[in-house]
Amino acid sequence: MQTPSKTSQLGRPRTPRLSRKAIGRAALEMFQEEESLSIPRLAERLGVRQSSFYKHVTGRQEIIELARGALVEKAPMPELPAGSLDDVIREIFDSLRKAYSMVPALLPLLLTQPVSHPAALERYDQFVEAFEIAGAPRHLIIPALEALDSAAIGASLDAMTMESAWSINEEEEGTYPHLFAAKKAVAEHPVDRFAFLADVLSAGLKAAIDDD
Q: Considering only residues 110-149, where is the footprint of a second copy by CB under 8 A?
A: 111-116, 118, 121-122, 124-126, 128-129, 131-132, 138-147, 149
**Nearest residue (CB) to a second copy, 53 versus 131:** 131
Q: How many CB atoms lie within 10 A of CB 150?
A: 12
Cα distances (Å, whole numbers) of residue 160 to 17, 60, 92, 116:
33, 23, 22, 25
Q: What is the phi-psi region of residue 18: left when phi exceeds 0, alpha when psi lies from -120 to 50, beta otherwise?
A: beta
Report CA Rg, the chain: 22
* Binding span for a second copy by CB under 8 A among 5-13, 52-60, 90-98, 200-208: 200-208
Closest CB to DNA among residues 12, 189: 12
Q: Which of a second copy, DNA, none binds 51 (CB below 5-8 Å, type-dependent)?
A: DNA
Q: Is residue 113 a contact point for DNA (CB under 7 A)?
A: no
Interaction with DNA in 32-61: which residues (CB under 7 A)? Answer: 37-41, 48-56, 58-61
Question: What is the closest distance, in whole angstroms, from the C-beta atom of residue 164 to DNA in the complex?
Answer: 23
CA dist 42 and 23 (Å) reads: 8
Taking a C-beta distance cutoff of 8 angstroms, is the pair 127, 147 a contact? no
* Short-list 98, 145, 109, CA closest to 126: 145
Q: Which of residues 94-113 bind a second copy (CB under 8 A)?
A: 105, 107-109, 111-113
* By CB under 7 A, residue 11 contacts DNA: yes
- Residues whose CB is less than 8 angstroms from the CB of residue 12 and which lie 6 or more positions away in sequence, other chains included: none
What whole-number distance in Å separates Cα of residue 161 and Cα of residue 170? Answer: 19
Residues 160-199 that bind a second copy (CB under 8 A): 160-162, 164-168, 172, 175-179, 181-183, 185-186, 188-191, 193, 196-197, 199
Pick one of a second copy, DNA, none as the site partner of residue 50 (Cβ within 5 to 8 A by kind): DNA
CA distance 180 to 169: 9
Residues 6+ apart with CB under 8 A from 106: 28, 31, 64, 67, 68, 71
26 binds, among a second copy, DNA, none (CB under 5 to 8 A by kind): none
| 153 is a site residue for a second copy (CB under 8 A) | yes
- 108 touches DNA (CB under 7 A): no
- Interface with a second copy, residue 77, by CB under 8 A: no
Chain contacts with DNA (rule: CB under 7 A): 7-18, 37-41, 48-56, 58-61
